[in-house]
């Protein structure tokens, strides 16, 4: 997959998920009935142009409700997106991932690919998924913990709301300052490190990663063609070695490895495509 | 082959959950939250 094509898909997906442009001029959030359906990526439903619901926010809202019912609908949608796309959602459809990709394009004298503790820190997103999105909202009623204290997409939505209706600025207090600091840190770090939010903090990415091994969109390696030159590993910004583990939890299916392979040993495949004897899934 | 079976089972499960959710009116709950400004999300509440 050409990187330019991926960028075009990301741009179109981000625009489509925020296609109610009236909100940006009039203030307030979109009232479209399409918001009864969750979008696959992290896109706050309080963004003035959002035409779909945020899956993480909807899940926490259902879990922290006083009238608790198992959130079949949101869970079903999340599993459906996960099984079809896995973390390809992160690579192609997530507006916040797209934003980080754009920021990473800003030139900087030293981009950091990995550092000590990088691998351990990546488990943090699973901790956030379990406690911030599921356990704590279940026990602390009416408190979507991840949205309230961490989510940078919500902070961005708040800023956009404030720019479209300046009265919102007067409502910002200490909690907004906290969330703005988190957003600021993520934006700054995104200049140096590729997608820090996706790597270390995103609960949605953590959830979708669990489906990478079985999702319809996958990578396969032709072991007969692969010369173990590691060109794919060097091209991967998520620090995955696709020639060894094409279904790695961290792979966002961006396709840079597919383009980088000089032997065409790496390819996209789905569970419905026919099996090639040389390919390892 | 094993992965395909798991994938098909998970698709069936997800569709069953979605249908179950739709039948119990959960999309309306999602909509009611999504059409109001989420104060917690934007850092106000």
Token pair, residue A154, equals: 């919500």
Alpha-carbon distance of B29 to A51, in angstroms, equals 16
Give B29's contacts in chain A (Cβ within 8 Å).
61-62, 65
A251 and A191 in a common domain: no
Minimal-distance CA residue of chain B relative to A274:
B1
pLDDT at position A278: 54
According to DSSP, the β-strands at A279-280 and A266-269 are unpaired
Centre a 10 Å sphere on the Cβ of residue A275 and count the other Cβ atoms it contains.
11
Minimal-distance CA residue of chain A relative to B36:
A29
A204 and A119 in a common domain: yes
Give B15's contacts in chain A (Cβ within 8 Å).
76, 80
A274 and A144 in a common domain: no
Residue from the list A52, A65, A154 with its beta carbon closest to the beta carbon of B43: A154
pLDDT at position B2: 81
pLDDT at position A74: 97
Alpha helices of chain A — where are they, by DSSP H? 3-17, 22-26, 55-63, 72-85, 88, 95-104, 118-121, 124-127, 136-139, 145-149, 152-164, 174-192, 196, 203-209, 231-235, 256-260
A92 and A128 in a common domain: yes
Q: Which residues of chain A have pLDDT under 50?
A: none
pLDDT at position A143: 85
Alpha-carbon distance of B42 to B38, in angstroms, equals 6
pLDDT at position A41: 96
**Residues A35 and B30 sit within 8 Å (Cβ to Cβ):** yes
A192 and A261 in a common domain: no
Domain of A104, in residue numbers: 3-208
Sheet holding A279-280, edge to edge: A266-269, A218-222, A279-280
Alpha-carbon distance of B38 to A58, in angstroms, equals 11
A195 and A239 in a common domain: no
A240 and A133 in a common domain: no
**Would the pLDDT of B4 be above 90?**
no
A10 and A116 in a common domain: yes
CATH code of residue A217: 3.30.70.20
Residue from the list B27, B35, B42 with its beta carbon closest to the beta carbon of A73: B27
The three-state secondary structure class of A219 is strand
Q: Is B11 on the interface with A (CB under 8 A)?
A: yes
The pair phi, psi for residue B6, each rounded to 5°, is: -60, -45
pLDDT at position A272: 61
Q: Is the complex ipTM more than 0.90? A: yes
A136 and A244 in a common domain: no
Minimal-distance CA residue of chain A relative to B4:
A271
A228 and A185 in a common domain: no
Q: Is B5 on the interface with A (CB under 8 A)?
A: no
CB-CB under 8 Å, A176 with B43: yes
Out of A174, A208, A242, pick the residue that ends a domain.
A208
Out of A208, A239, A262, pick the residue that ends a domain.
A208
**How many domains is chain A partitioned into structurally?**
2
A157 and A51 in a common domain: yes
**Would the pLDDT of B16 be above 80?**
yes
Confidence of residue B13 (pLDDT cuts 50, 70, 90): very high
A230 and A94 in a common domain: no
Token pair, residue A100, equals: 């980080």
């Amino acid at each position: 997959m050409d990187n330019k094509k991926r960028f075009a898909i990301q741009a179109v997906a981000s625009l489509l998920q925020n296609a109610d442009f009236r909100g940006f001029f009039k203030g307030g959030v979109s009232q479209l009935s399409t918001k009864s359906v969750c979008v696959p990526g992290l896109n706050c439903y309080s963004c003035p142009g959002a035409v779909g619901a945020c899956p993480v926010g909807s899940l926490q809202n259902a879990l922290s409700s006083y009238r608790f019912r198992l959130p079949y609908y949101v869970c079903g949608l999340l599993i459906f997106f996960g099984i079809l796309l896995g973390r390809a959602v992160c690579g192609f459809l997530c507006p916040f991932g797209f934003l980080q990709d754009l920021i990473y394009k800003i030139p900087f004298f030293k981009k950091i690919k990995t550092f000590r503790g990088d691998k351990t820190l990546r488990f943090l997103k699973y901790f956030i998924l379990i406690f911030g999105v599921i356990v704590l909202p279940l026990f602390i009623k009416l408190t979507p913990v991840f949205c309230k204290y961490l989510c940078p997409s919500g902070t961005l939505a708040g800023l956009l709301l404030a720019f479209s209706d300046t009265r919102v600025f007067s409502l910002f207090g200490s909690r907004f300052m906290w969330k703005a600091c988190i957003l600021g840190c993520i934006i700054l770090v995104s200049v140096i490190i590729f997608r820090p939010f996706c790597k270390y903090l995103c609960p949605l990415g953590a959830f979708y990663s669990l489906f990478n091994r079985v999702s319809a969109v996958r990578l396969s390696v032709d072991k007969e063609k692969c010369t173990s030159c590691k060109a794919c590993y060097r091209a991967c910004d998520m620090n995955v070695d696709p020639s060894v583990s094409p279904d790695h939890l961290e792979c966002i299916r961006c396709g840079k490895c597919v383009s980088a392979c000089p032997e065409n040993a790496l390819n996209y495949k789905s569970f419905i495509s026919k099996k090639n004897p040389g390919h390892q899934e | 082959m094993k992965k395909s079976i798991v994938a098909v089972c998970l698709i069936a499960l997800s569709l069953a959950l979605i249908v179950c959710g739709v039948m119990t009116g959960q999309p309306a709950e999602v909509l009611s939250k999504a059409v109001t400004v989420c104060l917690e999300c934007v850092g106000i509440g």
